[in-house]
């Protein structure tokens, strides 16, 4: 049984982790920014917490639904014009931040924090690589 303190800590951690990732997307002027990433992560955490409370013997079904549903949300950020495809990284970051929310919802704090750090490093590496290509 989750305590109120557990719930608050997990939701606050979801806000913090996703705010960092969302801020990175927003400062680089991508379609989904701070609020989108925060809401996806908080929503994933909330749904996971609810599934743990409501379906303690089978929370995996709800997790599978989150992963699938967020895939559709991310797909809406992908655009193709002529020979360019834009939005793949944004779609992937939305999907990955939902995973952070799932991890936080289950109380897997280390996994969630490690994943958020890995995501930030990956996004930064991609930005640096793009800058180097332009030179």
Evaluate whether 105 touches 10 at the Cβ level (below 8 Å).
yes
3-state secondary structure of 29: coil
pLDDT of residue 37 exceeding 90, the answer is yes
Q: Quickly state the pLDDT bin for 45 (edges 50, 70, 90).
A: very high
Average pLDDT, the chain: 89
Evaluate whether 103 touches 3 at the Cβ level (below 8 Å).
no
Task: Tally Cβ neighbours within 10 Å of residue 50.
Answer: 14
pLDDT of residue 94 exceeding 80, the answer is yes
Provide the residue range defining the domain that includes 21: 4-134
Tokens 């495809």 sit at which residue? 85
User: Distances in Å between the alpha carbon of 66 and those of 51, 73, 94, 99?
Assistant: 11, 10, 12, 9
Is pTM, for the whole model, over 0.85? yes
What mean pLDDT is predicted for residues 50-55? 89
Top pLDDT among 135 and 66 is at 66
Number of separate domains in the chain: 1
pLDDT of residue 134 exceeding 80, the answer is no
């Amino acid at each position: 049984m989750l305590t109120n303190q557990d719930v608050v800590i997990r939701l606050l951690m979801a806000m913090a982790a996703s705010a960092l990732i969302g801020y990175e997307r927003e400062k680089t002027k991508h379609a989904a920014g701070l609020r989108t990433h925060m809401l996806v992560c908080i929503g994933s955490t909330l749904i996971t917490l609810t599934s743990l409370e409501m379906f303690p013997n089978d929370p995996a079904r709800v997790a599978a639904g989150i992963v699938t549903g967020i895939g559709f949300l991310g797909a809406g950020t992908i655009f193709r014009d002529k020979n360019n495809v834009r939005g793949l990284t944004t779609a992937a970051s939305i999907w990955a931040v939902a995973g952070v929310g799932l991890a936080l919802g289950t109380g897997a704090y280390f996994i969630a924090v490690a994943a958020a750090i890995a995501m930030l490093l990956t996004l930064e590496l991609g930005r640096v690589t793009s800058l180097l290509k332009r030179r």
